[in-house]
Amino acid sequence: MNKSVGFGLLEAIVAMALISGIGISLFAWINSNMITLQRVEAARARHMAIENSIEYMQNINPMLTPDGKVTLGDLHLSWNSTLKAAPVDIKDFSLYQVALYDVVLNGSDANNPSWFDFTMTLVAYKKVRLYDNPIQLMQ
């Protein structure tokens, strides 16, 4: 009677096939997760760029600067504004004229020439008169 001890050739081949199948599945799963991570990172970067653009545009007065370009690090912004509502001028109450503008904002970087475009509405103002007596404005 011939007793064999240890693994035979058939068992070793089956074990190698199982290990390689599991390894291929594991690499496919890791690759899928890496692709998803890249997409999430790209979406996060776009979201942060849009938030920075909105924050920057809060300091722009479209009545005085209706269009322009600026570079913020790697982000390039350009905007163009159009009058949405006619300017309001309350002569007896205010020193300013106010109006609403639709501002079309375009953001780009080195990898994406047209990364995002959106329209926002901004309040614009312009000082149109001076009062010699500031107390007169309050009465």
Question: Does any domain span residue 2?
Answer: no
Query: What percent of the chain lies above the pLDDT cut of 90?
Result: 64
Question: Does any domain span residue 4?
Answer: no
Encode pLDDT of 15-47 as tens digits: 999 999 999 999 999 999 999 999 999 999 999
Question: Does any domain span residue 15?
Answer: yes
Question: Does any domain span residue 60?
Answer: yes
Query: What average pLDDT does the chain have?
Result: 88
Full residue range of the structural domain in which residue 127 is found: 9-138
Report the domain count for the chain: 1
Taking the CA atoms of 21, 26, 27 and 32 in sequence, report the sign of the dihedral they define: positive
20 vs 91, more confident: 20
Whether residue 129 has pLDDT greater than 90: no
pLDDT number for residue 133: 63
How far apart are alpha carbons 29 and 18 in whole angstroms?
17
Kindly give, in sequence order, each residue whose CB lies less than 8 Å from that of residue 113, ignoring residues fewer than 6 positions away. Answer: none
Question: CB of 105 within 8 A of CB of 139?
Answer: no
Question: Does any domain span residue 3?
Answer: no
Question: Does any domain span residue 42?
Answer: yes
Question: Does any domain span residue 1?
Answer: no
Question: Does any domain span residue 41?
Answer: yes
Q: Of the ranges 72-76, 109-113, 129-133, which one carries the lowest mean pLDDT score?
A: 129-133
